[in-house]
Structures are given as structure tokens and as C-alpha cells.
Amino acid sequence: MRTFAMGLLLTIALVLVSTARAVDTSTTRTLDGSQNNLANPDWGKASAPYRRIAPPGYADGIAEPAAGPRARYVSNRIFNDASQNLFSENGVSQWGVAWGQFIDHTIGLRQDSPGERAPIAFDAADPLETFRNDFGAIAFTRTPAAPGTGVTSSREQINTLSSYIDGSGVYGDDAARLEWLRVGSVDGDLENNDAKLLLPDGMLPRSGARGDGAAAPSMALSGRLLASPSEAVVAGDVRANENVALTATQTLFAREHNRIVDALPRRLSGTEKFEIARRVVGAEQQWITYREFLPALGVSLAPYRGYDSRVNASLSNEFAVVGYRAHSMIHGELEPIAPAGTYSDEQLDDFARQGIEVEQDGGAVTLVTPLNVVFENPSLLAAIGVGPVLKGIGAEREYRNDEQIDDQLRSVLFQVPKPGVPDLGACLDGPPLPDCFSGVVDLAAIDIERGRDHGIPAYNALRRAYGLPPKASFTAITGESTDRFPVDRAIDRRGPIDDPDILDVLALTDANGQEIPLGTPEAEAEAVQAIRRTTVAARLKAIYGDVDRIDAFVGMAAEQHSAGTDLGELQRAIWRREFESLRDGDRFFYDNDSALATISRRYGITYRHTLADVIRANTDAEVQAHVFHAAD
């Protein structure tokens, strides 16, 4: 404890009274997360193996993925939402998804090359298949084995990012990327850079912002950006272009960094101001995560008792590959909101040509934007504006966190519409989707296969690893009354599990338990619960036969929720353990970092900002005080 206390005093001195020398990495966060834990400097470090909570579940005990029913087959019968949207029963806004992804991209990114191709089978003759796949299979590549594993010892995988919630999505995990992102020369010396981040016109820089696009830090590109890589923006995380909501959030916190720099005294050096701003931004992201994001989803943690050097904060394989994958919450549309008159008639016409539905109501214009338009499209953010996008994220509820995933993710993720599709507006969502796309990328199937690839044990084995009793029946998982198919000739004619009628919606209810008539506008906007012709338990039983054979991701997604939470028991246990470790094992966690109090006292700058505070300080958007709860 004496060594740690001395370290805190040194930290304060370095942050507030440093000379123009590099900061001491033993008392200030390193970029790659190393040396956070002084006794175990590699804990939480970037480019290190994930830790494991459960023993690996490989088929051969070493590296072979466990066998199971075909992933797309499972997806078509369990994760298929049949174009019926269900919403968060607790009114969580789309910030539940957007912030969750932003933090995910701060703490985890698996190494993905060189990987072994292992395509997921696609059966065009499946009676429940409604999409065409000109690729013939669903592309999938195994995560490479960490060096020294997968031959005589169990295969492990590498997390390429620092595991800590440290703002690395804004700053990156290495000095070369950070130097490019900071105003000033790129000469290998961060000391001669300005304190501010490069933000031309308040937006993230494009790869050609410094002249030579080829010299810019690499970014992960797919979809439309493969044909126009110069349109990509550059940020701390390589995935910043993935969707407009994510790009907007990345931009928000880069702006926040520069806002803090502007608020600091001119007498401080560029290095001092940069390090103070970076420290505050990282603490803000922790504050929002622990004070807003987790409570909104109903995740409660044990009381914080201070930093514990015995806690390894390295991200766990189970959390990264199963527990934090809540893709069913992703809304099929993003709906930016701006005051009337924000856009010209020409701009509105251009939005419509891209497949955006323009809704004008009194003093506001709403841009109903399907997922296939927001993916890999940073130019759209520049056209719409950061404020309208961030406001729209908080205006609507996210989808229910369950076993149903929107077809824009479950079937046509990242795909470009078929050539000759006459009306992109018809491709917004729902039944027209199969007519708009000719290639299948199924996020649910990939989630199932990734769990097998990483050796995550089956559902009940994972429950045991997290201290939960195993489930003895399929109905015990889902909370439904039966795991039998109904006695109905119409549903039995092909064998019940292969009959498309099993997904028919028979009834809907809202958050108050009131029934909603099918086919009404309320059915598309208010439903939180659906009764289908068959129960999830019946379909799980027909597919797996034995509860001990269920894939961990599938069983977790199918669990019933406790009142007041948006997560099932296993997922909540995984989140609780992980976020407690990320808190308790972080020497620079906001409640343990006395330098933050000194910064507040001397300069009037605090990290205790809600997400609404940060949005209001950096955009013109008027948002509700609690943006994690939908405005509607």
C-alpha cells in the first residue's frame, strides 16, 4: 500500500507539474495497458491471450471445435425474428447498443489473421430459408492460435487491445497511431505534438488529412469503403467506420478531448494538457459505463472496495465471445433527428436516393436510416451531422435482448443491394429484404460458430463456471410452460422443426402486459413480448435434444429475464464478473485515482459527466437528461 500511495503522489506531480519530458509510464496509463498492475505488468496488456473462466470445451481437448447442429440451421429456427420487432421491456434506448459497442471496441479485438478458413454451411433447400446466397456458404475464419498453444496445450486466442476502459478507442494503443491523430508533425516524437487531436471541421480526419493517405494508420474496411478507402476516417480504434452511430460516438469523445484542452491554462505544456485531457476522457467513459450504462440494463455490481492488485483485469474469452454479444438489441434502423430547415431540399432528396425515409413533422425532420445504409458510411455522418445522430440514438428504444435478431444482421450484414433494385427505400427492413440482397452474412450463425472456435464450453458447463446451477430442462431456460409442439396438422405436415409456420406470431403484448392487435402500428412500435405458434423451448429441444448440448451463446440468449433487467441470468453473471474485474483490477479507476480530484480542484475540470452532458457540451443537440432511457 505504501508503494501505491507514493505512486499516486508521483502521478499528481507528473500530471500537474511535469516538464517537457515524457510521462512516467509507471504512474500514468500506458497506451497498451502494460504496467497497470505493477506486480503483474502484462495483466490487461494489449496483444496478450484472453484469460479463461471455464475450462476449454474443445472436442479433442486441444483445438478442434465442438460439433453441433449447423449454425445457420439453428439461426433460422431460433434467431429468426420473422420480421416482428420486439423492444426493450425496460425502455432502454439505442444507447444501450451504441455505448455497449463503443466500450467493446475499447477493451477487446481478437487477432483475426492469419486465420484458417472454415465457412459456415448454407442450405438453400432448408424450408425455413428465405434468402439467396450467391456465395454458396457464409464466410468464417477461425481466430489464430496464440503462440505456443493449440498443439500440446489448449488453443488460446489473442486480444489485440488493452483490456482497460481507458479511452483507447479515441487514442489508440500505440504511439505511432496516437502521433498521427494529434495535431503537429509526425516524426516519431510525441513531445513536439500539440495537445489537441486532429479534427478538421470538427470531424474525425480522413486518411488523406496529412497528405499521404498511404501513410495513415490502418483502418478495418469492408462494404462500400473497399471501393473508396479514401472516404474512411481514422481514429484510435480500427473499427470506427463500422457504422454511423459508432463513428459519431468516436467523434464526440475526440471533440470532448479538445474541449478539455481548451479549458486548461495556457501556461501548461502540450504534453501536460494532453495527458490531463486523456486522463479525464478515460474516467468519463468509466463513469458513464458504471453509473449509467450498466444500471440502465439492470446490471448491479458488488460495492467498490478500492483497487485490488490480486485482480486480473485481462478480458475473458467467455465475455468477449459469448457474454458481451447482445446483437439482438441492435435496432434495424437509426433515426437521426434535426430541427426543420437543417437540410436543404437537395440534401433531403439525396438522403431519399440512398434509401433513407425522410419524415417531416412540425419542427423536426427524422431520417429513418436502415442498417445497410449506416454501415461503413462515414460520409453519411458528415452529411447528417453528429448532433442529430446522437440525439436519434437516445430517442427510440433498442430491440429486446433475446433470441431474435433483425434480418439486417442475421442475413444481410454488410451486404450491398442487388444491382438493379429499383427502390432502395423498399429495402428498409422486413419481408422485402430477400428481394434486395443476394449474399448471406449471418451474425447469429457467426456468434454460434465463434463460441465453438474459441472452445467455449456448452451452456450448462458455462453456467457452472459462473457459479450458477445447471438447467435441467428447456422450459427452465426459457420460462415457458411447454417444450412440446402443438398438435396441429398444419404445423406437422413437414415435421414441426422444419415447418416455417412454427415462427408465426399469434399474440403481442406491450411493456404493461396489455395485448396489442396484430398488424397495427402499435405492433411495430410497442411490442415487447410475442407468443409464437411454438415455444423457443420446443424448438431448442428439437434441435439439441439434450440441454447439456446447447451452445453457450444460444442458451444464454434464450434465458428469461429477471424483472427490471434486460439480461438473463447467465449473461448478467458474466457481465457482473467482468465489469467488477475491469473496475477492481484497474489502478487508474476513477474512484481510485486521486489525481482526478486534484485536476478538478485546480482547473475546475471534472470527469463526473453523464453522456447527456458530454453530448450537450460538444454538439447543438438537445437531449434528455438520461439518454439511456428512450425519449419516447
Q: What pLDDT, in 10s, does the model give residues 52-75?
A: 999 999 999 999 999 999 999 999
The whole-angstrom separation of Cα 38 and Cα 617 is 36
Model pLDDT for residues 536-577, shown as the tens digit of each residue: 999 999 999 999 999 999 999 999 998 999 999 999 999 999
Phi-psi region of 243 (alpha: psi -120 to 50; beta: other; left: phi over 0): beta
pLDDT for residue 4 is more than 80: no
The whole-angstrom separation of Cα 288 and Cα 95 is 11
Cβ distance 32 to 296 under 8 Å? no
For 14-33, give the secondary structure using H, E and C: HHHHCCCCCCCCCCCCCCCC
pLDDT of residue 494: 65
Q: Which three cell numbers stand for residue 593?
A: 485515482
The whole-angstrom separation of Cα 455 and Cα 318 is 9
Looking from the CA of 392 toward its CB, the CA atoms found within 13 Å total: 26
- Residue 489: pLDDT band by 50, 70, 90 thresholds? low
Q: 621 vs 8, which has greater pLDDT?
A: 621
pLDDT of residue 487: 81
pLDDT of residue 9: 34
The whole-angstrom separation of Cα 434 and Cα 407 is 9
| Share in percent of the chain as helix, strand, coil (round to 5) | 40, 10, 50
pLDDT of residue 15: 40
Lowest mean pLDDT across 112-121, 430-439, 613-622? 430-439
The whole-angstrom separation of Cα 433 and Cα 96 is 26
Closest by CA position to 552, among listed 534, 532, 573: 573
Average pLDDT of the chain, as a whole number: 92
Residue 395, helix vs strand vs coil? coil
DSSP 243-263: BHHHHHHHHHHHHHHHHHHHH
Model pLDDT for residues 274-312, shown as the tens digit of each residue: 999 999 999 999 999 999 999 999 999 999 999 999 999
Residue 85, domain member (yes or no): yes
Closest by CA position to 496, among listed 482, 509, 510, 507: 482
The whole-angstrom separation of Cα 241 and Cα 538 is 40
Closest by CA position to 415, among listed 423, 403, 424: 424
pLDDT of residue 429: 58
Q: Find the mean pLDDT for residues 368-396.
A: 95
Q: Find the mean pLDDT for residues 164-177.
A: 97
Ramachandran angles phi, psi of 7, nearest 5°: -65, -40
Q: Find the mean pLDDT for residues 158-168.
A: 98
pLDDT for residue 3 is more than 70: no
In the chain, pLDDT over 90 holds for what percent of residues? 84
Model pLDDT for residues 197-249, shown as the tens digit of each residue: 999 999 999 999 999 889 999 999 988 898 899 999 999 999 999 999 999 99
Residue 590, domain member (yes or no): yes
The whole-angstrom separation of Cα 584 and Cα 592 is 9
pLDDT of residue 430: 59
DSSP 433-490: HHHH----B-HHHHHHHHHHHTTPPPHHHHHHHTT-PPPSSHHHHH--S--SPP--HH
Calculate helix-pair angle for 611-618, 244-263, nearest 10 degrees: 80
- Residue 372: pLDDT band by 50, 70, 90 thresholds? confident
pLDDT of residue 548: 98
* Strands, E assignment, 555-596: none
Residue 541, domain member (yes or no): no
In the chain, pLDDT over 70 holds for what percent of residues? 92
Q: Find the mean pLDDT for residues 359-373.
A: 91
Residue 49, domain member (yes or no): yes
Residue 378, domain member (yes or no): yes
pLDDT of residue 1: 33
The whole-angstrom separation of Cα 103 and Cα 246 is 10
- Give the end-to-end CA distance of the chain in Å, rounded to a whole number: 49
Top-ranked range on mean pLDDT: pick from 212-221, 404-413, 424-433, 571-580: 571-580
Residue 145, domain member (yes or no): yes
Residue 297, domain member (yes or no): yes
- Residue 370: pLDDT band by 50, 70, 90 thresholds? confident
DSSP 28-89: S--TT-TTSSSSSTTTT-TTEEPB-SS----TTSSSPPPP-S-HHHHIIIIIB-TT---B-T
Q: Which three cell numbers stand for residue 464?
A: 457452472
pLDDT for residue 519 is more than 50: yes
The whole-angstrom separation of Cα 470 and Cα 278 is 44
pLDDT of residue 20: 34
Residues spanned by the domain of 187: 2-458+563-618
Confidence (pTM):
0.93
pLDDT for residue 419 is more than 90: no
pLDDT for residue 21 is more than 60: no
pLDDT for residue 179 is more than 90: yes
Q: Find the mean pLDDT for residues 478-501.
A: 84
Q: Give the CATH number for residue 611.
A: 1.10.640.10
Residue 398, domain member (yes or no): yes
- Residue 11: pLDDT band by 50, 70, 90 thresholds? very low
* One-letter identity of residue 561: H
The CA-atom distances, in angstroms, between 84 and each of 27, 127, 365 are: 52, 19, 26
Phi-psi region of 319 (alpha: psi -120 to 50; beta: other; left: phi over 0): alpha
Counting the structural domains of the chain, the total is 1
The whole-angstrom separation of Cα 436 and Cα 434 is 5
- Residue 19: pLDDT band by 50, 70, 90 thresholds? very low
Phi-psi region of 139 (alpha: psi -120 to 50; beta: other; left: phi over 0): beta
114: preceding bond cis by omega (within 30 degrees): yes
Lowest mean pLDDT across 115-119, 258-262, 570-574, 604-608? 115-119
